[in-house]
Structure 1
Amino acid sequence: MSALRRFDLNLLRVFTALMEERHVTRAAERLHLSQPALSHALRRLREALDDPLLVKTEAGMRPTPRAEALLPRVRQALALLETGLAPPAPFDPATSAHHFVIATTDYFEEVLYPAFLAGLRRRAPGITLEIALITDEVLRSGLAEGRVDLVVGPEAVSGLPAELVQRPWMGEELVCLAARDNAAVGEALSLEAFVACPQVALADISGLHAGRVDTWLASQGLSRRVISQNLNYMAAARIVAGSEALMVLPRRMAELFAGLLPVRLVTPPPGLPRLEMQLIHHGLYANEAPQAWLRRQLLDFAGESGAWE
């Protein structure tokens, strides 16, 4: 058995105080211990180190050669422990040059990210951000390995590793988008008209709302006729602008496209579920100051945006 396994590390502070004070009473006062408790600790030290450590002389208590040799090493060990156990330095956004990687959807990147980044840069002018796609690899290993700090925007994802933490973030109503000259679609759609229309949908690579819409229809014994699945909203909206198809998307993105393309908003059938977005992070980094700060900024942004109204 090693000496360390048998040694009570709490005695290191007692040893240092005794060597520096060379007086049991003064060492006890320094450590806020009673004199009997300090004397007991000294006996334990002597037994553990098999050395008297302090010896009474005419000039007072003097450390033995073994004690004198140990003192600088014990001081160094205590200093290393103090440094290692000290709380991490606080994250200062005003001076930080931290690089964040956010995996997200094109909805967040196109509609919400510009305003979010502008506010973030005012508070943290030295940070940089990188946008990545939400993929299975990100969810399975990117977050765990620290290559991605946060996943922003997908709806609740089932079957995630247990160490991933999901929390609600923002919600928004879904609307339909149709070409301005699509005479087959009026200002609002009944459920029957909705399922009869050809539709463009997003490929459900990130747990977004396309699956929610289809699940909602399936609960009523219905399904929609999807003529194209696309990877991003802009491509899908351009198809809608030049065809008789419609698509389902969050209202703010629909309003953005209505100003860019010959498309218009259409009221969806009653009961169409809302988009309910999540933040996902890894439990390993829950208390890391930069990541915690980024999550707080996103939560504050959601509140300021009135996202749950």
Structure 2
Amino acid sequence: MSEPMHDLNFLYLVDALYREGSVSGAARRLDLTQPAVSHALNRLRARFGDQLFVRSGAGMAPTPLGERVARGAARALALIQSDVLAEPLFDPRQSERRFTVGMTDMGGTVILPKVMQMLERQAPGITVQPKVASSSEIGSMLEHGAVDMAWGYFGRLGPGLYQQSLFRRALIGIRRKGRRRAAMTLDTFVNTPHVLANATAVTNELLQQRLKERGHTLRIALECPYILAVPAIVAGTGYIATVPDELADLFQRLAEIETFPLPLPVPDITVKQHWHARFNDDPSHRWFRAKVFECISGHGSAGDADSE
């Protein structure tokens, strides 16, 4: 062959000629005219320096080189069909896919247990690899493939990413359990030593921004990197903390604390799952996202995703 073949349509032409044994049959198979097939065959003969297919009886038979090229074309087309053109199959009960998921403590505490219960029932071979992720780094982790998706309250992450709301939660205060207490005033709230969990950094910023708008600054006694230490610290001191109500419910089972409504309006937080555009149409990823949405939001089918 004098020069490389850049147009892979010749594979379909050779395969059709070999299978049909005639120019007219190949033309019907390829939905082309007979002159078009004859012209293409002549170009191939010139490229390969061989007749490739010659007249034999009522049809055409391959030369030795034509036989080799035709068999190679059949293998190449089968590979293209199976690895490129065929729609990928995904069977959750047979899959052993591992999903690496970036998550906040909220994602790990609230979402992960429910998802693992779902997988145990419906897809026991699929596993989840949790990865601690902060709001400042999760966008890059998704973009560079360090994680397949992310769960939590991260704020807006940037272009090229999709998001889907899973649930909304109000922020609520927690304090040491005690006898008859007066309602928490705003002045008392801002002047009482506060524990901030590093894991809820975006929530902390939201709270402090709302206080700043009202001319107040929160009195921060401790910034704690361990979310599960917060209820014990609050139960054993006069400190208070502000957390999503789902975490407050959990904390009340872990320590002697009680909840109180915040003395200023703060918007609810929306916990979401996020993923990169390149995974949007992947069958296994699509199935997993839909199941996460179903078991966390309580809806039977996934809602629409928005690009960020």
TM bracket, shorter-chain basis: 0.7 to 0.9
**1:44 is aligned with what amino acid?**
R
**Matching residue within 163, 186, 205 for 1:191:** 186
Corresponding position: 1:210 with 2:207: no
Write out per-residue CA displacement over residues 150-189 of structure 1, whole angstroms, 9 at most, x where no aligned residue.
Answer: 211123145x5x4444443321011100111277x53x43
- Cα 1:281–1:247 change in 2 (3 A) is same
- Cα 1:136–1:221 change in 2 (3 A) is closer
Output the CA distance in 1 between the equivalents of 2:17 and 2:88.
Answer: 32
Corresponding position: 1:175 with 2:169: no
Offset of residue 57 of structure 1: 5.2
For the residue of structure 1 that corresponds to 2:275, the secondary structure is strand
Offset of residue 230 of structure 1: 0.9
Counterparts in 2 of 1:1-309, with a 5 A limit?
A: 3-5=3-5, 7-56=6-55, 60-87=59-86, 89-135=88-134, 139=138, 142-144=141-143, 146-158=145-157, 162-181=159-178, 186=182, 188-203=183-198, 207-304=201-298
- Cα 1:190–1:33 change in 2 (3 A) is same
Offset of residue 123 of structure 1: 1.3
For the residue of structure 2 that corresponds to 1:268, the secondary structure is coil
Output the CA distance in 1 between the equivalents of 2:213 and 2:206.
Answer: 11
- Cα 1:260–1:20 change in 2 (3 A) is closer
Write out per-residue CA displacement over residues 105-138 of structure 1, whole angstroms, 9 at most, x where no aligned residue.
Answer: 2223233432332123211122222322114796
- Cα 1:293–1:138 change in 2 (3 A) is farther
Output the CA distance in 1 between the equivalents of 2:42 and 2:102.
Answer: 59
| TM-score normalized with structure 1 length | 0.83
Contact 1:91 1:289 in 2 (8 A): yes
Output the CA distance in 1 between the equivalents of 2:16 and 2:81.
Answer: 16
Output the CA distance in 1 between the equivalents of 2:61 and 2:164.
Answer: 62
Write out per-residue CA displacement over residues 10-69 of structure 1, whole angstroms, 9 at most, x where no aligned residue.
Answer: 122112221333311222223333333323332333344343333335675343343233
For the residue of structure 2 that corresponds to 1:73, the secondary structure is helix
Contact 2:196 2:241 in 1 (8 A): yes
**1:253 is aligned with what amino acid?**
L
For the residue of structure 2 that corresponds to 1:3, the secondary structure is coil
Offset of residue 93 of structure 1: 1.6
Alignment gaps of 5+ in structure 1? none
**1:4 is aligned with what amino acid?**
P
- Cα 1:249–1:58 change in 2 (3 A) is closer
- Cα 1:295–1:196 change in 2 (3 A) is same
Offset of residue 268 of structure 1: 0.9
For the residue of structure 2 that corresponds to 1:85, the secondary structure is helix
Write out per-residue CA displacement over residues 231-273 of structure 1, whole angstroms, 9 at most, x where no aligned residue.
Answer: 2332111111112221111112212222332111101123122
Write out per-residue CA displacement over residues 206-230 of structure 1, whole angstroms, 9 at most, x where no aligned residue.
Answer: 7531111112222333221010111
| TM-score normalized with structure 2 length | 0.84
- Cα 1:108–1:44 change in 2 (3 A) is same
**1:192 is aligned with what amino acid?**
D
**1:302 is aligned with what amino acid?**
I
Output the CA distance in 2 between the equivalents of 1:175 and 1:67.
Answer: 77
Alignment gaps of 5+ in structure 2? 301-308
Contact 2:135 2:202 in 1 (8 A): no
- Cα 1:69–1:171 change in 2 (3 A) is same
Offset of residue 305 of structure 1: 7.5
For the residue of structure 2 that corresponds to 1:20, the secondary structure is helix
**1:297 is aligned with what amino acid?**
K
- Cα 1:62–1:258 change in 2 (3 A) is closer
